[in-house]
DNA sequence: AAGCGTATCGTACTTAGTACCACTTACTTA
DNA sequence: TAAGTAAGTGGTACTAAGTACGATACGCTT
């Protein structure tokens, strides 16, 4: 039959690792399961990977590599938006990655390139260094935080929410968490609900606010605090 | 000798667990180390905790319990701000907690109470259900994401940044990440730099933007509009 | 004193990471 | 072609960690 196991390689190892993590979660990714998935024995992996920690670092970098880079020089708002949407998509595809980001603090080349590009668009977009720091921090906190919530929220769609909400509520006198109950029944459990849909709202909210602070680009629909450019009337 | 180990209790077990995690990280928290810290043997813990998973769930809830609750009925902006600042402080004090939040999806009572209070202030503040969802998502994504970044960023203060920046840069031609280099040397490595300082900027940016969308409260200089009649929870 | 529930733990099994070393192969180089 | 060598593979076994399964110990009641 079809000679499954051609030669191992770092690439194949990483690929298989991502596959396992995607399919069965980080917990299922053990050196043994990984080896098994490659029709190899555990110890063979150590020719391509120093140890499991290094493997995890490599996985994080691999995920970052999937995120679209913003184009330095383009419209900062559009570019930051695009890469943020991409980041969320990618991280949602590999939910385990976020857990790693927290722990691993050895950024790989893709990660560094990513950060560099983000700083690049902002600087090129006219942000001062301090404002670049602010903007970058806000946007990324939001993006990562959103994904974090998506991952940790027990529910996501209205469907799955029902089960969870029910199970949570049955344990307590329903009067204990009135707002939670209202929120669950009147909003989350409604047909079209999908938590992920919230993402772009917040992203635009933040980008608009940044644009106002920055004084350039086009805040799409917000009236700034102190009569800077007024009206949703497309400034510029 | 001085009778160290008085009776165990769930409370003492949890307390010790938090202590170990705070001091040496989540990785150091094993049933054995935990038992040792309590002058007990591993298996004794299982009288107070069903298994390690349940222990972790309990720890998360314990951390949430430390966060100041917003006061339902108070000025939504001020309350949300206060609890957000508190949340960041608490999570920064227990950096390991965030890693757990991702994994554990069994909210405990403190966690539920927390969510309920947040939804409560927003509703009482006049937010519609959909806007409450938006606001809550944005704010929490930001808060959690910020902490996540704080935790994962290898550097924090200018001091520690130097070492990291140096080590990162030496491996590569310095021309590979020009913006990163500029950012590191011109901003991060400057004397007064402290990543955590960015937090309130972003938080206020978001709260202001929400206030604008909401039309009520005081973003900074906007006058409240028509108070939307609302009635907290308590269906029927 | 007998009995009982609660708390504590000794032992041992299981899963996972990985050190150590042997073996196998393919590719030199003479 | 024969011998040498580097690269790749894996068998064995040790260690750490979670936890099942019963004991055992320690009070309190009756």
DSSP class per residue in A38-50: TTS-GGGGGGT-S
Q: What is the CATH number of the domain that holds A117?
A: 1.10.357.10
Q: What angle do CA B81, B224, A235 make, to 5 degrees?
A: 90
With beta carbons less than 8 A apart as the criterion, state whether A99 and B102 touch. yes
Domain tally, chain B: 3
- Give mean pLDDT, residues B2-30: 85
Spatial CA neighbour of A161 closest among A202, A194, A135? A194
With beta carbons less than 8 A apart as the criterion, state whether B191 and B183 touch. no
Choose among B99, B148, B221: nearest Cβ to A226: B221
Spatial CA neighbour of A139 closest among A70, A194, A196, A73? A70
What angle do the packed helices A109-124 and A76-93 form, to 10 degrees?
A: 150
Q: What is the mean pLDDT of chain B?
A: 84
Q: Show the tokens assigned to A56.
A: 């995890």
Q: Say yes or no for a CB contact (<8 Å) between B198 and A105.
A: no
CA dist A212 and A227 (Å) reads: 10
CA dist B213 and A200 (Å) reads: 15
Over residues A141-152, the pLDDT tens digits come to: 999 999 999 887
With beta carbons less than 8 A apart as the criterion, state whether A223 and A230 touch. yes
Q: Strand D positions with any atom < 7 Å from protein CB?
A: 8-12, 16-22
What is the nearest CA distance from A13 to chain B, expressed in angstroms?
A: 24
- Give mean pLDDT, residues B46-75: 95
CA dist B23 and B29 (Å) reads: 10
Identify whether residues A68 and A39 lie together within a single domain: no
B158 vs A137, more confident? A137
A2 vs A158, more confident? A158
Q: Give the chain B residue whose CA is nearest to the CA of A194.
A: B133
Could you give the maximum distance between any two Cα atoms of chain A, in Å? 73
Identify whether residues B73 and B109 lie together within a single domain: yes
Q: Is the pLDDT of residue A163 over 70?
A: no
Identify whether residues B208 and B114 lie together within a single domain: yes
Q: Show the tokens assigned to A168.
A: 């949570």
| Residue-level pLDDT at A104 | 80
B28 vs B7, more confident? B28
> How sure is the predictor about A224, in pLDDT bands with cuts at 50, 70 and 90?
very low
Q: Is the pLDDT of residue A232 over 70?
A: no
Residues from chain B that touch A174, judged by Cβ atoms under 8 A, are none
Residue B233 belongs to a domain? no
What is the nearest CA distance from B206 to chain A, expressed in angstroms?
A: 6
Identify whether residues B42 and B90 lie together within a single domain: no
Closest CA to D21 C1' — which residue?
B43
Q: Which domain holds residue B116?
A: 50-155+194-214
CA dist B54 and B104 (Å) reads: 9
Choose among B102, B106, B179: nearest Cβ to A119: B179
Identify whether residues A125 and A184 lie together within a single domain: no
Q: Say yes or no for a CB contact (<8 Å) between A115 and B180.
A: yes
Over residues B183-231, the pLDDT tens digits come to: 988 998 888 888 888 999 999 999 999 999 886 545 443 333 333 333 3
Residue B2 belongs to a domain? no
Q: What is the CATH number of the domain that holds A36?
A: 1.10.10.60
CA dist B74 and B193 (Å) reads: 34
CA dist B221 and A232 (Å) reads: 18
Long-range contacts of B34-39 (CB under 8 A, 24+ apart): B38/B5, B38/B8, B38/B12, B38/B13, B39/B4, B39/B5
Spatial CA neighbour of A118 closest among A130, A106, A108, A133? A133
């Amino acid at each position: 039959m079809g000679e499954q196991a051609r030669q191992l390689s770092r690439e194949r190892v990483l690929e298989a690792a991502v596959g396992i993590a995607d399919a069965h979660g980080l917990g299922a990714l053990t050196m043994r399961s990984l080896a098994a998935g490659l029709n190899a024995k555990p110890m063979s992996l150590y020719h391509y990977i120093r140890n499991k920690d290094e493997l995890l670092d490599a996985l994080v970098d691999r995920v970052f590599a999937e995120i679209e880079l913003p184009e330095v020089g383009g419209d900062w708002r559009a570019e930051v938006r695009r890469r943020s949407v991409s980041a969320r998509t990618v991280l949602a595809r590999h939910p385990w990655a976020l857990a790693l980001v927290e722990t691993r603090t050895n950024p790989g080349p893709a990660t560094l390139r990513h950060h560099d590009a983000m700083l690049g668009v902002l600087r090129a977009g006219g942000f001062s260094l301090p404002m670049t720091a602010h903007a970058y921090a806000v946007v990324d906190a939001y993006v990562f935080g959103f994904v974090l919530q998506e991952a940790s929220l027990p529910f996501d769609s209205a469907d799955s929410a029902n089960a969870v909400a029910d199970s949570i509520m049955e344990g307590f006198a329903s009067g204990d968490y009135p707002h939670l109950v209202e929120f669950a029944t009147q909003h989350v459990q409604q047909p079209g609900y999908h938590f992920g849909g919230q993402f772009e709202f917040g992203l635009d909210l933040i980008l608009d606010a940044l644009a106002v602070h920055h004084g350039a680009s086009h805040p799409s629909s917000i009236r700034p605090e102190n009569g800077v450019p007024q009206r949703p009337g497309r400034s510029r």
